[in-house]
Amino acid sequence: MISKVSLWQSLNPFLMLRSLWSHRNLIGQLIRREVGQRYRGSYLGILWSFITPLLMLMIYTFVFSVIFKSSWQPGSETPIGEFALTLFAGLAAFNLFSEVVNRAPTLILIVPNYVKKVVFPLEILPIVAVGSALVNSLIAVCMVVIGRLFLMGRFSPTILLLPLPYLSLCLLSLGLGWFLASLGVYIRDIGSGISIIVQMLFFLSPVFYPVDAVPEFYRRVILINPLTSILTEFRQSLLWGEVFDLQAWGLWLVFTVLFAMFGYIWFMKTKKGFADVM
């Protein structure tokens, strides 16, 4: 009877949200501490959140737009400034995903005291990772908005739709965060494999190219990747002033919600053995 109740509690999304909501103050404190510690002791502090993506953007733009003569619209030349913003909008979304997924396998391993000596809600650690990555992503988005105002003199009201693809992106990242954080405790070298997979996804997602530029046979494979839809929605709402397909977004949202629930259930069921393994 107890196991049935425990299973029901894991499957019930309202009980899951209530449990996580009860730790909201702790989650907020850990996110603030993590963001602050990232740049503590450096001379430029949080300015590195602006400098680092700008430098990477300059390199990517030079390589793909100047050397390879890439254009976002096949058959027409895309101005370098517009190409850079389009690229940056995709990076703002993908970097959130990659930061969470790359960190996830070691989230529990780096805090053994939380597992062995302290009664601590370990399930909030992937949420903290998503929150920290979200701060950096929002800084990048602000830079895209400023760039759009500088180049085009205005911004579109469709930017108000940006929280919708952000929601799908955070749920997808959170689900993977819970799953990989647990798996990383039992399989220590999974982090190396995950970093390779993330690099593959970097080029298999439309970060540097539009979906229409992919040959039709391979395009079906690219469209299976949920990041494809999310990156497109980011650009539509941020740069192009387009209302993205809300029905398609709704379908992906259902998928990411279920995926996040699966990750949470997996984590809660496997965390009982963390102390024994560590």
pLDDT computed for residue 75 by the predictor: 62
If we measure between CA atoms, which residue out of 228, 48, 229 comes closest to residue 139? Answer: 48
Query: What is the structure's pLDDT at 65?
Result: 66
Per the CB < 8 A criterion, the answer to whether 222 and 211 are in contact is yes
Q: For residue 148, what are the CA distances in angstroms to 70, 71, 174?
A: 20, 18, 30
| Torsion sign over Cα 211, 168, 80, 148 | positive
CA angle (7 as vertex; 4, 10 as ends), nearest 5: 155
* Closest-CA residue to 92 (of 65, 125, 52): 52
Q: Write down the pLDDT at residue 245.
A: 94
Alpha carbon dihedral 153, 156, 159, 161, in 10-degree steps, equals: 180
Rounded Cα–Cα distance for residues 92 and 110 (Å): 27
Rounded to whole angstroms, the Cα distance separating 8 from 135 reads: 34
71: phi then psi, degrees, rounded to nearest 5: -135, 140
Closest CA to 208 of 70, 78, 93, 53: 70
Check residue 1 and give its pLDDT. 36
Task: Quickly list DSSP for 54-89.
Answer: HHHHHHHHIIIIIIS---SSTTSPPPHHHHHHHHHH
For residue 105, the model assigns a pLDDT of: 96
Model pLDDT, residue 181: 97
Using alpha carbons, select from 56, 87, 90 the residue that is nearest to residue 70: 87
Per-residue tens of pLDDT for the chain, all 278 residues: 334 445 555 556 677 788 888 999 999 999 999 887 876 655 666 677 777 777 877 787 777 767 766 667 766 666 777 888 888 899 999 999 999 999 999 999 999 888 877 788 999 999 999 999 999 899 889 888 888 888 777 778 899 999 999 999 999 999 999 999 999 999 988 988 999 999 999 999 999 888 888 888 888 889 999 999 999 999 999 988 899 999 999 999 999 999 999 999 999 999 988 988 87
